[in-house]
Chain A
Amino acid sequence: MIESHAATPEIHGHPALQHHFENMEQQREAGTLGMWIFLVTEIMFFGGMFLAYTLYRNLFPAGFVLASNHLDITLGAVNTGVLILSSFTMAMAVYFTQTGKLRPQVWCLVLTLILGLTFLGIKAVEYHEKYTDRLIPGRIIPGAHFGPDPHAFHLQAGAPELAQIEMFYWIYFAMTGMHALHMVIGAGLLTYLIIFSLKRRFDPEYHSPVEVIGLYWHFVDIVWIFLFPLLYLLGRHLGGH
């Protein structure tokens, strides 16, 4: 609309160069820096929840161990592997874009997307297990208030640890839920990348969207790398089940 009367003719005319940048290099630099700064805001965002986790884990070590041991460590570990693999395929996608290899690039993006969806699927299975065990805290879900069978945790009914277990699951759902939301957004971004790659929008001179979304993807993976041990592995060395 407004760009219409930019007086100077484009001398270095890559079609993806936006009018307010001098050249592709400047545009790429801005995009990458922008994503890094966005990731800093993400760290602060998750930081609030990590703070709550740290505080209550220190206050309630026993209840947290009991609650953590009830998580499905196999599914959690598989999911960790899935995400690490997806980070690898994402990195390869960036590499193939930079070197201009369209076919493998698209394949890597598709693989990354599939792995991401696999993660979400496994997560859904886990969530459902928690739902059937009535471990969803509070009264978020009508008709399914928090109320697990105390014996599943080797506790008597009314034991004080039950409140601590509920606290653990509150934090568990807040953190993994927020993480899953980021995965969903990431899956959307990957779909966008796949479509635009098929339309041949990216080339060795213009690949910053792939790179920048790659950064985002790695970040979301790294969050999980922290979440997995913090949530799943509490007190395992003490011989939990």
Chain B
Amino acid sequence: MKPIESFELPSPSKVNYLNAVYGLKSWLLTKDHKRIALLYLGSITFFFFIGGIYALMIRLELLTPSGDFLESTTYNKVFTQHGIIMIFFFLIPSIPATLGNFLIPMMIGAKDLAFPRINLLSWYVYLAGGIITIYALLAGGVDTGWTFYTPFSTTFSNSYVVATGLGIFINGFSSILTGLNFIVTIHTMRAPGMTWFRMPLFCWSHYATSLIMILGTPVIAITVLLLAFERVSGVGIFNPKLGGDPVLFQHMFWFYSHPAVYIMVLPGMGVISELIANFSRKNIFGYSFVAFSSIAIAVFGFLVWGHHMFVTPQSVYAGMIFSFLSFAVAIPSAIKVFNWTATLYKSSISYDTPMLYALGFIGLFTIGGMTGLFLASLATDVHLSDTYFVVAHFHYIMVGGALMAYLGGLHYWWPKMTGRMYPEGWGRFGALVVFVGFNLTFLPQFIAGYIGMPRRYHAYPPEFQVYNVLSTAGASILGFGMLIPAVYFVWSMRYGKHAEANPWHLPGLEWRTQSPPPTENFEQTPIVTWDAYEFAPPEETEVVGKFHGEVERAS
């Protein structure tokens, strides 16, 4: 094995993937996974911005108890479109399509993903879905909630359900293609010596995410398609006129959409594993447990969808089983949290910006997960379902968890992706503002929901106002906090300090090539002889790294 110090960094070269070729066409027709990652980065940022505007409108409306800023029908559209944009067009592609796309080939020592053309296709498919959805929003919007429950969506809603559904249907294929590409890449493209158990945990969590993408996304695709046809034809499998069951839609929807929440958080967990191990300069505690817990989440995540349907006519016995399984699926998530914490123990932590986001993630994700257990308990859920408690629960996981991980990862790999450093002081400041703003926004929503404030109404009884004022104030801080990185990231692309190949002094493969990397990632295909996170002196690692010396497919 090679200690990091003696590993020779490539001589800095002027040619890299960003300047190897020029011109708009070289970007729009690129097959380089790193460039495609940047294309995705740009487009999801755009959608995040649109989703953010809707969030702002929601918080403004809820500042006062009366529905004075938006009419009820407009408000319905606003929260629906907020959800659709944020979930399908921002959060689901966020980490996989940008960081995953950029890093998975680099982390396993490959020149590219297995199917570069399909990778580019996935971006165009994503764009096509996005454009259709934006058309639907401009034409008049959609007001069904991101959940599209029947029979409202099939029969009663007077909004652009079919167009939006088509956008989501098409967008689903970009997710499927990305997942397919990742799985094949991880199976077939690892460099000599890069065994499964030497892969960074980021790759494991993306592997698990990809499993969900390929198994779950087709189901939402057919569900939305059947829904659209039903709306057009006037009858269908969800339609009581033919003896159909509207609740069947909820089953099919949540069969995808619960696993989809793990599509949103698993990649984040992968980022956090990287950050925690690398910024505490210690091998992760219980590598294989963290790795397999991702797979366990992917598998068991498919068995709990019924916890979204406790207040439907679902059989009580099914409810009990779904409740039990929901508790069970929390275990692998908890394993991760414990292992991250144990990694921190007696390590040398450096509090750089990415690590601040990572520490924030651990706390906020834990709160989000624990409140999930409140909702997974049959009796409490009857009280909490459809209240702001649910809203707070999933925002703690999706914003406090997934989004924090995304921001942390973006800071961490920014030097590699752009060749520039972001300003560290501003970075830490931004992370703190985001953390404070986030908690001020969503903590009061737990209380408001617990004492009975329902979700999805534009007006509410005055006794809930104090929580909503706090929440709107927090949202302003959060929005401001997000602008800070937005500004300095753009700034740093031009004026930031040039990044070295390995600015954090880490062992991972992606740090053993220049920043930004050359088009083919490495000058030569690397031969891997070390474990991920191998910080310890060699003698100790011999004992810890039980997969040492195992060399696979050194073809």
A159 at the interface (CB under 8 A from B): no
Q: Which residue of B lies closest to A51 (CB)?
A: B252
A138 contacts B243, CB within 8 Å? Answer: no
In the complex, the answer to whether B188 meets A170 with C-beta atoms within 8 Å is no
Residues from chain A with a CB closer than 8 A to the CB of B222 are 45-49
| Complex Cα spacing A143 to B176, Å | 38
Contact of A44 with B236 in the complex, beta carbons under 8 Å = no
Interface residues on B, range: 35 or more
What 0/1 readout, one digit per residue, does chain A (2-23) give for beta carbons within 8 Å of chain B?
1111111000000000111011
Give A174 Cβ to nearest chain B Cβ, in Å: 7
Cβ of A41 and Cβ of B180 under 8 Å apart?
Answer: yes
- Chain A residues closer than 8 Å to B176, beta-carbon distance: 41
Flag if B110 contacts A20 (CB, 8 Å). yes
Contact present for A166 and B215 (CB under 8 Å): no
A217 lies within 8 A of chain B by Cβ: no
A132 at the interface (CB under 8 A from B): no
Give complex CA distance A146, B523 in Å: 66
Contact in complex: B555, A34 (CB < 8 Å): no
Min CB–CB distance B211 → chain A (angstroms) = 10
Residues of B within 8 A of A137 (CB): 233, 235-236
- Closest residue of chain B to A7 (Cβ to Cβ) is B523
B93 → chain A closest CB, angstroms: 17
Contact A166 B214 (CB under 8 A): no
Given contacts A5-B15, A139-B234, contact A19 B111 (CB under 8 A): yes
Binds B, one of A53-61, A74-82, A88-96, A223-231: A53-61
Interface residue? B140 (CB, 8 A): no
Closest CB of chain A to B554's CB: distance in Å?
A: 11
B465: which A residues are within 8 A, CB to CB? none
A41 touches B217 (CB 8 A): yes
Q: How far is the CB of B514 from chain A (nearest CB, A)?
A: 14
Q: Does A33 contact B (CB under 8 A)?
A: yes
Determine how close the nearest CB of chain B comes to the CB of A168; give it in whole angstroms: 9
Give A82 to B315 CA distance when docked, in angstroms. Answer: 45
- Whether the Cβ atoms of B245 and A55 lie closer than 8 Å is yes
Task: Give the contacting residue for B243; candidates A3, A19, A140, A163; CB below 8 A.
Answer: A163
In the complex, what residue of chain A is closest to B111 when comparing beta carbons?
A: A20
Whether B114 is near chain A, meaning CB under 8 Å from some CB there, is yes
Contact A30 B115, beta carbon cutoff 8 Å: yes
Using an 8 Å CB-CB cutoff, how does the interface string of B185-218 with A read, 1 for contact, 0 for none?
A: 1011100000000000000000000000011111
Produce 1/0 per residue, A148-163, CB < 8 A to B.
0000000000000001
- From B20, B184, B187, B525, give the contact of A2 (CB < 8 A): B20
**In the complex, which of the residues A4, A34, A49, A163 contacts B242, with contact meaning CB atoms closer than 8 Å?**
A163
The residue that A25 contacts in the complex, of B234, B235, B525, B555, with Cβ under 8 A, is: B555
Chain B CB count within 10 A is highest, among A2, A6, A30, for A2
For A138, what are the chain B residues with a Cβ–Cβ distance below 8 Å? 233-236
Residues of chain A having any CB pair with chain B under 8 Å: 1-8, 18-20, 22-23, 25-26, 29-30, 33-34, 37-38, 40-42, 44-49, 51-52, 55-56, 59-60, 137-140, 146, 163-164, 166-167, 170-171, 174
Offer 14 A-B interface pairs, CB within 8 angstroms, sorted by A. Answer: A1-B31, A5-B15, A19-B520, A20-B520, A22-B525, A26-B188, A26-B555, A30-B189, A40-B215, A41-B214, A44-B215, A45-B222, A138-B234, A163-B241
Which 7 A-B residue pairs are closest in the complex by CB-CB distance?
Answer: A138-B233, A48-B222, A45-B218, A20-B112, A138-B235, A44-B218, A20-B111
